[in-house]
Amino acid sequence: MITSTGSEALDRIVERLGNTTDPKRRYEYVLWLAKKLTPLPADQQTDDTKVKGCVSQVFVRGTLNQGVMRWQGDSDALITKGLLALLIQGLDGLTPPQVQAVDPGFIAATGLQTSLTPSRANGFLNILRVMQEQARQLDKETVPMG
């Protein structure tokens, strides 16, 4: 294990990608994740779920369910959708503080940035930041005022 993200699911994905030497295989895995992602309903693809700073259209929505984060998302670009699916799978079921504590350094451990264009790699980071911000907002809303 190269890195520990604080998420077992994300660690497994990072390990799987990091152990793959063929960039084509990494891409295939990301595309496979994209195909498995349940699309975010169109009526939820709004400005407040849109990830800014991405070349393609990306939407992600986090909800707090019994203290843990549940994610939905969609993108009009298959690779970006796969990256989103990777993050959704990796961050699903974590508490908001756990999501916020994920270090973006894991992205390097996947080896994906060697195959991604700079704008895609940047978009990947933007998606993570938006998810962390949503977790922070939801966490703030559930803190009892006393």
Q: Give the DSSP H/E element, type plus range, for residue 58.
A: strand 58-65
CA distance 12 to 54: 26
Phi-psi region of 103 (alpha: psi -120 to 50; beta: other; left: phi over 0): beta
CA 13 to each of CA 52, 62, 66: distance values in angstroms, whole numbers, following the listed order: 25, 20, 25
CA distance 12 to 65: 23
Residue-wise burial string across 76-101, b where 16 or more C-beta atoms lie within 10 A, e elsewhere: ebebbbbbbbbbbbbbbbbebebbee
Question: Which residue shows structure tokens 């559930």?
Answer: 142
| Residue among 54, 58, 84, 130 flagged as catalytic | 54
Does residue 54 have an active-site annotation?
Answer: yes
Which active-site residues does the annotation give? 54
